[in-house]
Structure formats: structure tokens, C-alpha cells
A and B are shown apart, each in its own frame.
Chain A
């Protein structure tokens, strides 16, 4: 009873600290939920402008393609902390894992809206087509969500003071992190493999047999950018103190990864003899230039400068460039540069947008509540990196 009363008080005080923001957020979340209920009663045709000519739309581009890539902060940071032993990033690992977990939950919820027969989602478990990239995506998303839940579970166990499950999870922590990295590698890239099935409809500026590799590398680059973005915002919103060297350290890694990405994209176009398309393939080449200049080249240049990395605001803006470039890339590949069938046009219905916006609003609300109720930012002595003495104790 006491916990219930306290949570109510706290929710009210969340409302007080963000009066307008929270009410808008709540409204978006509630409308989204309403539209989802309407959708389950009437089908996706009733709430979307999708058609035979454009069978995938906003949900696939935003919620699946961007959602999965933007949740890459979880596995990149877990890898940095637990495998590469970069203890510096330890204070932000929990919120990164939480956002990744929420991201994947959103992906699943959005896919359940997008599927024509969501109640048959379990068919994936019994009917395997191991040659389908989407099968790989489905299996990896399911298992990785479970892995993320387990990776995050110590936070909840700590809060509830459950010692036994805490000890069990910690004993398998490293295998969990490795499983998370393996699963992420597989399905970040298989989102690219999915599009390989469409050589005739995806614009040659984006279609390449190495698309899976490009998807993986860009996801690894956007992982730290997302962590910078979330951590900066949450440290502002919730007043957690965060050393700038943590975030600038993440920013320092990005130019190397994006540099490799840019090199691969250009070399790939040159090798396939399609490099001329960046000038001739109007209007799609405009999207290509925007993506490369704003989302790749500019962040490489800016984040190479220590003065920019040391400034909280400038670093945040650079992270936003990387995120924006990735979002544009995924939209290009799965929508803008992907030809639909002749005689159809597509612009998302407001209810399609309401579903996506509603899900994101729910995620933000949960992050806000988690920041309030869960030990996300302070770590007890027991919770140390690299299997220190406390682990064995």
C-alpha cells in the first residue's frame, strides 16, 4: 500500500517538474493507445494508407528500421564496458541498457500493429524459413529483447532487494553481454539483408550486396551517438551529474566508425561503377548527399575536434547529426529510395503517425519513471566492472 501511495505522489511531482511536457506526452501516449485498440478491432487497412503498391510504410521505416538501429547504444556500450573494460562509461551503462530494452519493446509492439495477423506471431517459433532475412530479424529481436531484459534485471532486483536472482544474473553477466553483441551483429546486418531481396526496386545508390555490413557499421556508429543524446537529455532533465569526459570519450569513437562507413560506401559505389549516380540520379541523389554530408561527413569533421567534444551542447548537436543521418539512411533504404508499384502513392495516415508517436511517448514516460524509481545512476559497492573482488565475495 505504501509503495502505491508513494508512486502516486511521485508521478504527481513528475508532472509538476514538467507540467506542459508531461501533459502533451500523456496525451500522445493515450491517443496512440486508443488508435492501437481501434486497429486491433478493425484491421490495419482502417488506420493506414498502406496499399498493395506500398505494403510497408512508416511503421517499418521508423519503428523497425530506425528503432532497431537507434537501440544500438545497448550492445555498443555493453561491449565497451564489459568486454573492452572501459570502466569510464560505467555510470551510463544502465540507462543505455534500459533505452535499448525499451527500444526493442517498441519495435515489437509496433510490429504487432504492423502485422496483418499479430496473434500468429508465434508461428515464427514453429515454422522456420532459415533462408529468410526476416526470420533472422524476428528470432534475433525476440531473443535479444529477453537478453536485454536480463541485462537490465539487476537494477530491478537491487531496487526490490532480491539477493538470490541478483547473484544468478551476475554470474552469467559476461555470457549475456556476449550473446547481446552476437545477436545485435546478426540482426542489425540482417535488416540490410532484407532489402537485398529487392534489387529491382531499391535505388542503386543504396542497393549493394554489402548493405548488411553497412547497416551493422552505421548501427555501431549511432550507438554512442544515441547514448550521448539520451545521457545529455536525461542529465539535464533529471539533474544527474555526468562527467563530460564520459560523453566526449564516446564522441571521440564516432569519427573512426563513421570514417570506415563513409569509405566503404564510396568504394562500393566506385567498384560497382555507379559512382556517377551521385550526380546524375536526380532527385534521389539529393537524399544521398544530404545523408552523406549532414549525417556522416559533418559529424566526422566536427567530432574530430576536441573543443567541440568538450562542449556539452556542441557534442549533443553532433550526436543529433549522426542520429539524423542514420534515420534518413534507413528511411531512404526502406521507403524514399524504394520504388512502390506503379499507380500508387503513399503518405502516412495520421493514425499511423499516432501509433508511432504514442509508442515513443510511452517509452519516454517509462524512462522518466525509471529515473525516479530505479537505481539507474548510482551503483552500490557490489556492482563493479571486470569481476573485481566484490563479485567473488
Chain B
């Protein structure tokens, strides 16, 4: 059973205590940013910002919604980054967290390209750069603590629990107040399911959540990779066979022409 977090966007007040708590616990430096005319700051996740709140102003069904959406690693059930990483530096662990081991990483950034949510970040300004991303506070969970963001949340918008139970809780909230929630638990099925789950008052595509299919993105590469060993043996056998057959044919032809020449010479 993997852990997850249910993020109820109806309960989030956009205080960004989670953002601060995350920086504090992970000892992330502040980023210098410019005023972009929004509370949303910094503009992107980065190697120094593992989570942030996105501020969305949405008119939906004639109602105005100001929706605050926490963004961080979704901790997929079938992580593309884990399948992509050639040295196995990214692994989903017993808490459901997808964690990174910089003792293995070589800095190829395939994880960044593979991630369907655009999460892993790179320390571009460092001469010796590593990948950085939300750890689901595995270090805290290992000691029985909740993730720093969950602990910091003052409204209960973030709820840690077993993923299955959280889905049941989310269903309950939707059916209890169908007017306040869209009937969609984001992360329940997206890319084969994620540990982090979201409830929202407006459709997710309206608040910047990427629309993702239900199939894990790892399915096609897995299929392709499972074809590698048979392909290896097939090509090797085919080439050896062709070489043998063609060479034999060549030798027979040559022997035939030699025979003919001999006969001609004898006839002379």
C-alpha cells in the first residue's frame, strides 16, 4: 500500500505556508524573481523550489473562482522518470515516494524529458549539477512525520493517507457536495495513477493541469525494451545464417567454374 496526499483545492486558501515549509525542511535557497503582477511566485518549479502554489482566476458556470493549486512531483504509480533513468537513480520507495539518489545519477536529464508533468529540475547554474525535485519528505516519513507541507497546511487542504483510502475520502466529498466539486479525482487514473490526488471546484484543464491519458507512459517503451533480447538473438542468428549460406553458395559457384575451366583445358 502506498501513501498519498489528497489536495482539496476547495480548502486551499493560497497562504503558501507549504511553499515556505518545503524550502525550510529541504534547505532550499530563496530565488530572486521579478514582480509579474501575480501572487504566483516563483514562476516555475526549479532546483530551489520543489513546490509552489499556482493562482488561477477562473470564470466557470457564471461563477468566479480563485483557485489555488499546489504543484509538486505527483509521485506516479508508474513513474516515467524511474523507467527512463539509465542508472536507476530514481526509485519509487515503500512510502510511495519517487526518490532520487545522486550517488548514481550522471546528469543525463532523461527524467526531465520523460516526466509527463514536467517536474524534475536541474541545477543549471552549478558546475557540478544534480537533479532536484520533491522527495515526498521521505526522510520525515521514515521518522513517522508527515511531509513538511502537509504539517504546515492550516486548513486541512492537504491530507496524508493510504492512497486507496484517500480516493474513498475524495469520492465521499464529491458525492456529499456535488455542486462544489467537479466529478474528477485528478491523479486517480492519469498516467496510470499518481500518489498525489486532487479535488477541484472547476475542470482541471481550466487551472493549468495537463490533460493526461489513463495509460502509464511507460507502457510503449517497456514493450519496446522487452523486444530487445529476442531481437538480439534473431539478428545475430539471421546474420550468421546468411553469412554461411552466401559464402557456401559462393564457394560452390567458384568450384563449378573451376571444374568447367579444368574440363575445357582437358578438352583442349
Q: Mark A133-146, 1 if CB is under 8 A from B, else 0.
A: 11111100000000
Contacts of B126 in A (CB 8 A): 43, 45
Tell me the minimal C-beta distance from A333 to chain B in angstroms.
Answer: 12
Known interface pairs A133-B224, A198-B113; A52-B84 also in contact (CB < 8 Å): no
Asked if B38 is at the interface (CB within 8 A of a chain A CB), the reply is no
Task: Report how far A121 CA is from B213 CA in the complex, Å.
Answer: 34
Stretch from A80-88, A231-239, A295-303, A322-330 at the B interface:
A80-88
Task: Report how far A23 CA is from B129 CA in the complex, Å.
Answer: 36
Asked if B232 is at the interface (CB within 8 A of a chain A CB), the reply is yes
Task: Report how far A222 CA is from B106 CA in the complex, Å.
Answer: 31
A132 touches B110 (CB 8 A): yes
Known interface pairs A43-B129, A129-B86; A182-B109 also in contact (CB < 8 Å): no
Task: Report how far A83 CA is from B210 CA in the complex, Å.
Answer: 50
Which of B46, B217, B243 makes the CB contact (< 8 A) with A174? Answer: B243
Known interface pairs A45-B125, A178-B240; A123-B109 also in contact (CB < 8 Å): no
Q: Mark B104-115, 1 if CB is under 8 A from A, else 0.
A: 111111101110
Most buried by B among A116, A174, A201: A116
Asked if A33 is at the interface (CB within 8 A of a chain B CB), the reply is no
Asked if A246 is at the interface (CB within 8 A of a chain B CB), the reply is no
Stretch from A10-18, A186-194, A284-292 at the B interface:
A186-194
A181 touches B127 (CB 8 A): no
Task: Report how far A304 CA is from B27 CA in the complex, Å.
Answer: 65
Tell me the minimal C-beta distance from A96 to chain B in angstroms.
Answer: 18
Task: Report how far A343 CA is from B86 CA in the complex, Å.
Answer: 28
Known interface pairs A45-B126, A52-B121, A209-B223; A138-B112 also in contact (CB < 8 Å): no
Known interface pairs A44-B129, A190-B228, A387-B247; A120-B106 also in contact (CB < 8 Å): yes
Asked if A199 is at the interface (CB within 8 A of a chain B CB), the reply is yes
Which residues of A from 338 to 393 have beta carbons under 8 Å from B?
338, 341-344, 386-387
B105 touches A120 (CB 8 A): yes
B224 touches A116 (CB 8 A): no
Contacts of B124 in A (CB 8 A): 43-45, 50-52
Q: Mark A33-53, 1 if CB is under 8 A from B, else 0.
A: 000000001111110001111
A132 touches B247 (CB 8 A): no
Contacts of B129 in A (CB 8 A): 43-45, 116-117
B106 touches A133 (CB 8 A): no
A197 touches B84 (CB 8 A): yes
Tell me the minimal C-beta distance from B237 to chain A in angstroms.
Answer: 10
Contacts of A136 in B (CB 8 A): 225, 228
Asked if A130 is at the interface (CB within 8 A of a chain B CB), the reply is yes
What size tier do the contact residues of chain B reach?
A: 35 or more
Asked if A259 is at the interface (CB within 8 A of a chain B CB), the reply is no
Which of A116, A177, A199, A200 makes the CB contact (< 8 A) with B108? Answer: A116
B231 touches A200 (CB 8 A): no
Task: Report how far A42 CA is from B224 CA in the complex, Å.
Answer: 38
A343 touches B44 (CB 8 A): yes
The count of chain A contact residues (Cβ–Cβ below 8 Å) is 65
Q: Mark B75-95, 1 if CB is under 8 A from A, else 0.
A: 000001001111111000000
Which of A43, A197, A343 makes the CB contact (< 8 A) with B125? Answer: A43
Asked if A212 is at the interface (CB within 8 A of a chain B CB), the reply is yes
Contacts of A42 in B (CB 8 A): 127
Which of B45, B106, B217, B242 makes the CB contact (< 8 A) with A197? Answer: B217
Most buried by A among B47, B83, B86, B110: B86
Contacts of A198 in B (CB 8 A): 113-114, 217
Asked if B236 is at the interface (CB within 8 A of a chain A CB), the reply is yes
Task: Report how far A137 CA is from B105 CA in the complex, Å.
Answer: 16
Task: Report how far A146 CA is from B242 CA in the complex, Å.
Answer: 24
Task: Report how far A138 CA is from B85 CA in the complex, Å.
Answer: 12
Contacts of B66 in A (CB 8 A): none
Asked if A27 is at the interface (CB within 8 A of a chain B CB), the reply is no
B106 touches A121 (CB 8 A): yes
Tell me the minimal C-beta distance from B112 to chain A in angstroms.
Answer: 4
Asked if A55 is at the interface (CB within 8 A of a chain B CB), the reply is yes
Tell me the minimal C-beta distance from B99 to chain A in angstroms.
Answer: 15
Which residues of B from 206 to 237 have beta carbons under 8 Å from A?
210, 212-213, 215, 217-218, 220-225, 227-228, 231-232, 235-236
Most buried by A among B45, B123, B218, B243: B243
Contacts of B125 in A (CB 8 A): 43, 45
Task: Report how far A199 CA is from B78 CA in the complex, Å.
Answer: 14
Tell me the minimal C-beta distance from B138 to chain A in angstroms.
Answer: 20
Task: Report how far A85 CA is from B212 CA in the complex, Å.
Answer: 51
Pairs A–B under 8 Å by Cβ, sample size 7: A53-B44, A116-B109, A117-B128, A123-B106, A134-B110, A181-B235, A338-B113
Q: 6 closest A-B pairs (Cβ-Cβ)?
A: A116-B107, A45-B124, A135-B86, A43-B127, A127-B87, A55-B112
Given A85-B247, A212-B227, 9 additional A-B pairs, CB 8 A: A120-B107, A131-B222, A131-B225, A178-B236, A181-B235, A197-B218, A200-B217, A201-B116, A386-B250
